[in-house]
Amino acid sequence: MKDNKKPRNDELLAEQASEQGLDITVDSNAKHRARITRFGHLRQQSKEMSNWLYVQNDECVALDTPMGHVMSIRFSHYADKLASCANFLLFRHYYTLDKYKLAGLRTCKKHMLCPFCSAIRASKQATAYHEKMLVILKENPNLKPVFMTLTVKNGDDLKERFNHLKNSFKTLQTARRKWLKRGNGHNELCKAHGIVFAYEITNKGKGWHPHLHMVMLVDDWIDVDKLSDEWKAITGDSHVVDVRRVRPTKIDVDTAQGKEQKEDYSDGFMEVFKYAMKFTELTHYQIWIAHETLSPTGRLTRLQGSIGLFRGVQVPDAMTDDLITDNAPFMLILYKFMKGAGYSVQFMQDMPLGEVSTENLGAALTEYNSSGEVLPSYIIVTDPDTGETSKVLEADHV
């Protein structure tokens, strides 16, 4: 499992921190810029996937057959969804607190096709499970976090390989449950008191390679050789397992009392959830095949889950950041995605002075978004005599 032995990489950490909006003490402007750049790359990938789907749609239409017609509806449906994802990002810059927060965006939520949505969800999941683990570890100081990977042999039939992996993992879990109930038939998984897992699908030209990543909280270190034997006995075709200790890094965080050092295990969780699909390593065709195979009825096959102490974690549905709740003033910044050029600022509005509220700007955004127009830049002009403010188009203001 070479994939899992990536050395710790500062660039990756900065990226993750920026995705998760973690309050790591770094220059907030630099962090914000890095995040905008990162979002731009992800949005560009979604755009390319969407373009590919439109091409498939055109080809199906050209076939002019009943099947071609059915497929074209499916292709154009997803192409449209991805094309309208995250075209605008609305940020709040709380300048007195020096913090940027993503406050509004419209997304497609097609996690298996859209790299943008997949990345945001992955970081939300990683953050939620990381927080939960810190609580569990406080209550259960005897537990140790480990990162585990289970694989099955590659194959040409994704569905068959995926089900083989899923069922093999179920067998391992069933044995653990029996041991918990009756105390016999111990396996290495029985050392885990909490497990959070996610499937990942890759294909590097030698067939489909579904595998499972998980973070487990164990009361004793996993015996890798034993686990490997147990896994081989279940799968019949794979003994490849990988277990590593998840080591925390110390990070500086801002708290009400000032800067504080905290232990952070986010890396392990980012590895689990990032991503169900290795978008950059799969072709558009392969991404589509995986989507069609694993969500045949439109309802996604569950690609992640939790066991024991990790159960019941609520991952927020919102794609936005948690906003700052006190009445700190902020500048609204609206970014628009420009094909091939990432996000650029369309609009800025200082909230305490202007007449645009978050509410009405949201409505205006939705309108503009669906009209396909380019959003004009308004600026606020204050009359020097009366002190009254008015909103004018930047182009009209001299």
CA 124 to chain centre: 6
* Token pair for 103: 């406050």
Please say which residue, 42 or 294, places its beta carbon nearer to Zn ion.
Answer: 42
**Binding of Zn ion by 107 (CB under 5 A):** yes
In the complex, what is the shortest distance from the CB of residue 263 to Zn ion, in angstroms, rounded to a whole number? 33
Spatial distance between the Cα atoms of 53 and 43, rounded to a whole number of angstroms = 15
In the complex, what is the shortest distance from the CB of residue 299 to Zn ion, in angstroms, rounded to a whole number? 18
Binding mask 167-206 for Zn ion (x = CB under 5 A): ----------------------------------------
**Binding of Zn ion by 116 (CB under 5 A):** yes
**Binding of Zn ion by 89 (CB under 5 A):** no
In the complex, what is the shortest distance from the CB of residue 31 to Zn ion, in angstroms, rounded to a whole number? 23
**Total site size for Zn ion, rule CB under 5 A:** 6
Spatial distance between the Cα atoms of 358 and 204, rounded to a whole number of angstroms = 46
Specify the stretch interacting with Zn ion by CB under 5 A; choose among 50-58, 83-91, 123-131, 212-220.
83-91
In the complex, what is the shortest distance from the CB of residue 275 to Zn ion, in angstroms, rounded to a whole number? 13
**Binding of Zn ion by 333 (CB under 5 A):** no
Instruction: By CB under 5 A, name the one of 34, 60, 85, 227 that touches Zn ion.
Output: 85
Spatial distance between the Cα atoms of 133 and 196, rounded to a whole number of angstroms = 10
**Binding of Zn ion by 49 (CB under 5 A):** no
**Binding of Zn ion by 87 (CB under 5 A):** no
Please say which residue, 117 or 294, places its beta carbon nearer to Zn ion.
Answer: 117
**Binding of Zn ion by 118 (CB under 5 A):** no
**Binding of Zn ion by 114 (CB under 5 A):** yes
**Binding of Zn ion by 126 (CB under 5 A):** no
Please say which residue, 41 or 239, places its beta carbon nearer to Zn ion.
Answer: 41
Spatial distance between the Cα atoms of 258 and 256, rounded to a whole number of angstroms = 6
Q: Token match 């002190």: residue?
A: 387
The set of residues, in sequence order, having a beta carbon less than 8 Å from that of 180 and lying 6+ positions away, is 190
Please say which residue, 197 or 335, places its beta carbon nearer to Zn ion.
Answer: 335
Please say which residue, 112 or 152, places its beta carbon nearer to Zn ion.
Answer: 112
Please say which residue, 75 or 169, places its beta carbon nearer to Zn ion.
Answer: 75
For helices 28-63 and 66-83, what crossing angle results, to 10°?
170
Please say which residue, 231 or 275, places its beta carbon nearer to Zn ion.
Answer: 275
Instruction: By CB under 5 A, name the one of 13, 24, 36, 117 that touches Zn ion.
Output: 117
Please say which residue, 32 or 121, places its beta carbon nearer to Zn ion.
Answer: 121
**Binding of Zn ion by 108 (CB under 5 A):** yes
**Binding of Zn ion by 60 (CB under 5 A):** no
Please say which residue, 84 or 140, places its beta carbon nearer to Zn ion.
Answer: 84
Specify the stretch interacting with Zn ion by CB under 5 A; choose among 16-24, 85-93, 143-151, 367-375.
85-93
- Binding region for Zn ion (CB under 5 A): 85, 107-108, 114, 116-117
